[in-house]
Each structure stands twice: as structure tokens, then as C-alpha cells.
Amino acid sequence: MKGTFLVTAGDPSSAARTGRIQTPHGTIETPTFAPVASQGTVKALLHSQVEELGAQVILVNAYHLNLRPGLETIAKAGGVHSFISWPKPILSDSGGYQIYSLSPLVKIEAEGVRFSSHLDGTKIFLRPEDAVDIQRTLGSDIMMTLDYFLPYPAPKPKMREAVKLTSAWARRSKDRFLEAETPQQLWGISQGSVFWDLREQSIQDLLEVGFDGYALGGLGLGEPKSELMETLEKADLLLPKDRPRYLMGMGYVEDILEAVARGVDFFDCVLPTRNARNGTLFTRQGKMVIKNQKYAQDFRPVDEGCGCYTCRHFSRAYLRHLHERDEVSSAVLNTIHNLNFYLDFFGQIRQSITSNSFAAFRHTTSAHIEEGIT
Amino acid sequence: MKGTFLVTAGDPSSAARTGRIQTPHGTIETPTFAPVASQGTVKALLHSQVEELGAQVILVNAYHLNLRPGLETIAKAGGVHSFISWPKPILSDSGGYQIYSLSPLVKIEAEGVRFSSHLDGTKIFLRPEDAVDIQRTLGSDIMMTLDYFLPYPAPKPKMREAVKLTSAWARRSKDRFLEAETPQQLWGISQGSVFWDLREQSIQDLLEVGFDGYALGGLGLGEPKSELMETLEKADLLLPKDRPRYLMGMGYVEDILEAVARGVDFFDCVLPTRNARNGTLFTRQGKMVIKNQKYAQDFRPVDEGCGCYTCRHFSRAYLRHLHERDEVSSAVLNTIHNLNFYLDFFGQIRQSITSNSFAAFRHTTSAHIEEGIT
């Protein structure tokens, strides 16, 4: 199987581990955070800035790119790396989540999903095979299977049905995937929410098919934290150690840390970038809402210990001014800070695992988070 | 008089010259283009990008900064350079133009101008002395006098009145300016549109007072090009050679070139930055409207000879995609390109004057512009 994943270190106190995902566009050191670049750009940033901040992989969205600019354009450009000029690894999401969350009309059938474009209402029928074909054309390093996503809470019988369909689609995705040689990887997505019997079934179905990586979908949607963590713990025991695990869309620092402790390797979330554009900044002392009047004459940097471009040069007062004036540079400077915060955090996680101090790091960070500020 | 301006080279075929303006925050090589940073940020760019593009000076707006964040905040920060963290020269516009163009209620009196804030309707009375005081607090390197601006076309009797008031205000500005020592410069603004007798009177009144630099205000508003150029030619003969001349708000490349040939040293305009955000890109082959369908699968850079970050990495097709998706990075990448185009153009102007080839450069550039593309 391509895309070998190599575990490079393990934490003795938990299931946390570091690893390396090999892709045609380079290596991804895990645990890792993929900034979201749905449309082929991390919102508000230039690729050069994303690279400088230390991102190893970005996430593009097959749903969005397939609608606009369309596959034909990206194929003619030579694939998504070439079209967007990002030289490093790219993971493409299949678009399952977007179909269910953006489309005004969705109808699930055994064969695939029927939906209308949220942009112009065009009716589209997407089968799991199509999702594979689309991502093959994109040429992303890591492709995701098309899953059947349900919001939380969903009744158990409905979730059972979703798991069944997701498993059938995963098998068909793999079959399609095997029809032609490709250096790309295909990762399967499990569903089942926090119903462990359903999640277990979903994961076992995926394991039977066999994928390069395993994603936990449909979590972080408001389910009780204890049930989420229990699900991660049980999944850790079920999933093979030699494959990366991806907890989709989960973005709170405290959850990430606990998920890493339960053996998760790969994360993505719009939280740092979206919050930045709304003027909410992450610091080691908690969240900072930059528009607050109390920052109007606060000439300190956002985070005095932070080394990002924003904190090295600009004050809370100036950032508040830019935010209040609705300046584009407000979005840019805030995003630089928040993404630096996340990527730096993942660097610290990896470092602490490698140096056998993850338990201490986890403890200190959790304590800091509990103190909080605003 | 502070702020010595030194002419360093002259073009034998025209009144074009290169020069150096000394300011407390560094030297400005002229002819120069000041990117507009009304609110203390060049729209869509980070300061580091503006510096990398070769900007030597930026323009902030005293009207805007006085309203928000307010002088008290900027004073507490230690001045505008410190507040916005821009280490190089800053020219502050007095805000005359903004009062007349943005405020819903303006009343001119001999003593000053009465207007209401375009933001919240607050009633403000601004005297020329206040404009000096405000800019002194800002600590900009170059301050502008408060003038009485009229739109084009204005009836001659009204313009005569505007010139008279502008001259009286210029004298009062200078008097106020002399009340305290400062390393800042004060530049006077002439009015009179293309009525030469009025413009001449306005300039002579300013000369009698004596300023560190002389601005031509109220031009580039739609007056016939020949009358504008005639005004510049006559003004060139009237203005002292050892002071910089500033043609306010004039932004078309072809006009800039002709103004330089008539002895103008300093320019500012929102054109490159505003057009960028609207998706209009400047190239040596003319303007390019990036949203046009014909660029959807055009994988060439915007300008094949351009060395900016945008052109080195991204295709017209990708830039069109970002523009159509309303991505922040569209504004950023387009602004980088357009500002690079302008600053590069000014570098070529200076280079051609220094190397005694301005006449040829002017000829070639004008011919290129006349061919055009879209």
C-alpha cells in the first residue's frame, strides 16, 4: 500500500505518537494541523505566508472546486497543485459534509447523493465513484471517500442507516480507486456519532476494505465531551497503529490535545482562520476579542510571548483600529497570528512527544486553558 | 528651512528631474509615488509587503485618523509612525478633500470649515490652525495645509473665492506651524483649477508665505487634458526649482509621465490599490479585467514580463477564480501586482532621467499605452 505511514515516537503515558506521512509532494510530520483552503486558498493568506508559518499540508474541498472553477479548468491546469501553485501536500475532502450542510435540496439514494448546487441550484448526482474520479483529477495527495453525514443529534436508526451506506460507499470508492494506478492515497471516513456499536461497525467495515488512513467523521458537533473522548479511546484500540487517524473538523485546542492523547494524528478546522476574520484571537492566556473597547489604547502585542509577524510589529490598539475600519489587513494580520498559534501548538505537541514530555505539556496546557481570559 | 530638497539630475528634453527629499524618517527619491494608506494601512497589504515593493513614503489621512481612532490614541502611541508601525516617511493629507467629498453637511466660513462626520454626524469645526495641530500630533514627516477644495467644473467666481480663502488659510497654517519647533515639513496646496489667472494667484500667494513643498490641488477631476497640461507647464515656470512639487490624487500612468515631464516630483493615488480590489490589473499592455470569462482557462501570468510575487506564482485563471470567489487573497495578490506596476514605473522614470534617456522612455511608454489591450 502506498503512502506509508511511519510512527516515529510514542508517548508512554498515553496513545499520543509522532509519525510521518509520505506523499508525492513531501512528508507530513504528525500530529499535524491542515489549514483549510476550501477554494484553493487559505482564507486571507498568501501561500508564501502559509508556508512560512510552517503548514505542511492544506485541505481543499472537492465539492467547491468541482462546482467552481470546475474540473475541466483544473485538469487543464495540470491538477490542483498546479492550478493553485501550492507545492506541498494537499488533502481533498470529498465534499460529503458540504453537500449536507450547504445544499438546499439533498436526497440520499443507495447509488449516491442527489443535490442541488448552493450556488445556482444546478441538480447534481454524485456517486462515491464520482467523488474518487473528481479527486483523482484534482491530483490531491490524500483523497477522502464520500460519506453520509448526519448532524448531531441524529436518531440511532437513522445513524445506523448512514453507517451502512457509508460503508457500502467506502467499498465502492476503494474499488474505483483500484481501477487505475495513482500515487495518491485514499482515506476512509467512519460515521456513527458517539453510538459506539455503530462507530465500531463503521470502523470495522472500513478496516475490511483497507485504506491508507482512517478518518473519524461526524464528531465535534456538540455531543458530550466525555462521550466524544470515550469514542476516541475505543477507536484507538480498534484502528491499526500503522495508519494515520484523522479527526475531521475538530478545532478547539483543548480537544485537540485530548484527541492527540487518544492517538489521533491529523486535524483540520476553520476555527483559527474564521475566528481571525471575526476579530477573535487565540493566545496562551485565552481568547481575545480585539474589537473590545478596552484594547483601544492598549499598545501591547496580542500575545507578549508570540513571535509571529503580527505580534512582532503591531499593537492591540492598531489591530482593533484595523478591525473597526474593516480593513483587509485586519483579516490578514489576525489570520497570521491565529494560524501561527495553531501551527506552533502542533510543533510543541510533536516536540513534547519526541522528547518524552507530552504528559507534562498536556498538564500545563490544560491548566492554562482552564484559567482563561477574554 | 528644514526638509531640504535636492535636485539630483535633470532631463535636457523636458522639465523632468530627479531629486531627494530628506525627512526625519529617511530619504525619498523623486519622482515618487506614495501609496494611499488613509487609515494607516495600504489597503489589502501588510507594511512588509509595501516596503518590499519599494514604497518610500505612504500617505495617511488626517481627516480619517482624527475621527477614528482619534488623536488621543495616536498621541499616546507616540505618533502615527509608532501607532501604525511604519518606519519610513509619512505624508499626511490635511483632509480638505475628504471633508468636501465625504461629509454630508459642509459650511465654509472665513475662520474655518464646519462639517459633520460622515461616520456618526458629529459636528466638527476645523480651522487651518487645527489641521496643523492635528498633523503635528500625528508627527507625519510632511504635513499639508488645509485648503478649500471645489469639484470640477466650478464657476470662476466661486473658484476665485476658494483661492482667496485657501491663500489666507495657508498663511495662517504657516503662522501656526512656526509657533513651535518641529522636524516636520509643511507643504502648501494651491487651487484655481485650470483658470490660469487664479492658479497663478494661488501659487504666488503660497510663494509669498514660503513652504517646504508646493502641491497642485483640485486637478485631475475631468478638466480637458490640454488645459491640465498647460497649467502644469506654467506652474513649472512659476514654482521654485529647489522645492518639490506634488500633483495630488493624479493616477493614470500616461498623465503621470506627462506631469513628470512638466517638473512634478510627487504623486499619490488610490487607482492601483482600488482597481486591484475591483479586479482591474495594470500591465504594460494595458488594463486587464480579471473577471472576464476569457481568462477562465488562461494559465499565463497577468504580465509575462512582470517579476512580482503574483506574476511569479499565479495564473490569470487562478486569480480570476479567487476574484470570483471573493477571496481576501484576491485583493492582496491583485494589489501586490498593481502597486508593483506603479512603483516599478516610477523606478524606471527615475532611472531614465538619471541615465539621460527620459525622452526615449516617455516616447516608448506613450506609444505602448496608445496601443492598449483589455
Shortest CB distance from A322 goes to which of B41, B296, B315? B41
DSSP state of A294: G
Residue B157 grid coordinates: 467666481
A136 CA to chain B: closest CA distance, Å? 20
- What's the pLDDT band for B374 if we cut at 50, 70, 90? very low
Question: Catalytic residue among A11, A93, A141, A212, which?
Answer: A93
Give the dihedral sign, CA A344/A350/A354/A356.
Answer: positive
**Tens-place pLDDT, residues A23-43:** 999 999 999 999 999 999 999
Question: Does the pLDDT of residue A370 top 80, yes or no?
Answer: no
**Tens-place pLDDT, residues A34-89:** 999 999 999 999 999 999 999 999 999 999 999 999 999 999 999 999 999 999 99
Rg of chain A on CA atoms, in Å: 20
Q: Find the distance separating the first CA and the last CA of chain A, reported in whole Å.
A: 47
**Tens-place pLDDT, residues B300-323:** 999 999 999 999 999 999 999 999
Per the CB < 8 A criterion, the answer to whether B96 and B249 are in contact is no
- What's the pLDDT band for A2 if we cut at 50, 70, 90? low
Q: What are residue B273's phi and psi, to 5 degrees?
A: -80, -45
DSSP state of A165: H
B329 CA to chain A: closest CA distance, Å? 5
Residue A120 grid coordinates: 445556482
What is residue A94's predicted lDDT score, i.e. its pLDDT?
A: 94
Q: What is the ipTM of this complex?
A: 0.97
**B93 has catalytic annotation:** yes
Question: Catalytic residue among B11, B93, B255, B265, which?
Answer: B93
CB contact (8 A) between residue B322 and residue A39: yes
Q: Is 0.80 topped by the overall pTM?
A: yes
CB contact (8 A) between residue A314 and residue B69: no
CB contact (8 A) between residue A69 and residue B317: yes
Cα nearest neighbour of B335 on chain A = A328
Question: Does the pLDDT of residue A372 top 70, yes or no?
Answer: no
Per the CB < 8 A criterion, the answer to whether A222 and A150 are in contact is no
Across A3-16, average pLDDT? 94
**Tens-place pLDDT, residues B228-273:** 999 999 999 999 999 999 999 999 999 999 999 999 999 999 999 9
Interatomic CA distance for residues B76 and B91, integer angstroms: 20
A328 CA to chain B: closest CA distance, Å? 5
Opening angle at CA B243, ends B339 and B81, nearest 5: 50
**Tens-place pLDDT, residues A88-99:** 999 999 988 888
The number of residues making up chain A comes to: 374
Mean pLDDT of chain A: 95
Residue B188 grid coordinates: 502648501
A109 CA to chain B: closest CA distance, Å? 31
Strands B90-93 and B58-61: parallel
**Tens-place pLDDT, residues A236-281:** 999 999 999 999 999 999 999 999 999 999 999 999 999 999 999 9
Per the CB < 8 A criterion, the answer to whether A267 and A259 are in contact is yes
Instruction: Report chain B residues touching chain A, CB-CB < 8 A.
Output: 39-48, 68-69, 72-73, 76-77, 83-85, 277, 296-297, 299, 309, 313-315, 317-318, 320-322, 324-325, 327-329, 331-333
**A147 has catalytic annotation:** no
Interatomic CA distance for residues A172 and A159, integer angstroms: 20
- What's the pLDDT band for B118 if we cut at 50, 70, 90? confident
Mean pLDDT of chain B: 95
A86 CA to chain B: closest CA distance, Å? 9
How many Cβ pairs closer than 8 A exist between chain A and B?
Answer: 113
CB contact (8 A) between residue A309 and residue B68: no
What is residue A284's predicted lDDT score, i.e. its pLDDT?
A: 86
Helix axes A358-371 and A253-261, enclosed angle (nearest 10): 150
Per the CB < 8 A criterion, the answer to whether A279 and A334 are in contact is yes
What is residue B2's predicted lDDT score, i.e. its pLDDT?
A: 56
- What's the pLDDT band for B373 if we cut at 50, 70, 90? very low
Instruction: Report chain A residues touching chain B, CB-CB < 8 A.
Output: 39-48, 68-69, 72-73, 76-77, 83-85, 277, 296-297, 299, 309, 313-315, 317-318, 320-322, 324-325, 327-329, 331-333
Strands A113-116 and B58-61: unpaired
Residue A124 CB neighbour total at 10 angstroms:
16
Name the strands in the sheet holding B58-61, side by side, starting at the edge strand that comes first in the sequence. B32-35, B266-269, B245-247, B213-216, B185-190, B142-144, B90-93, B58-61
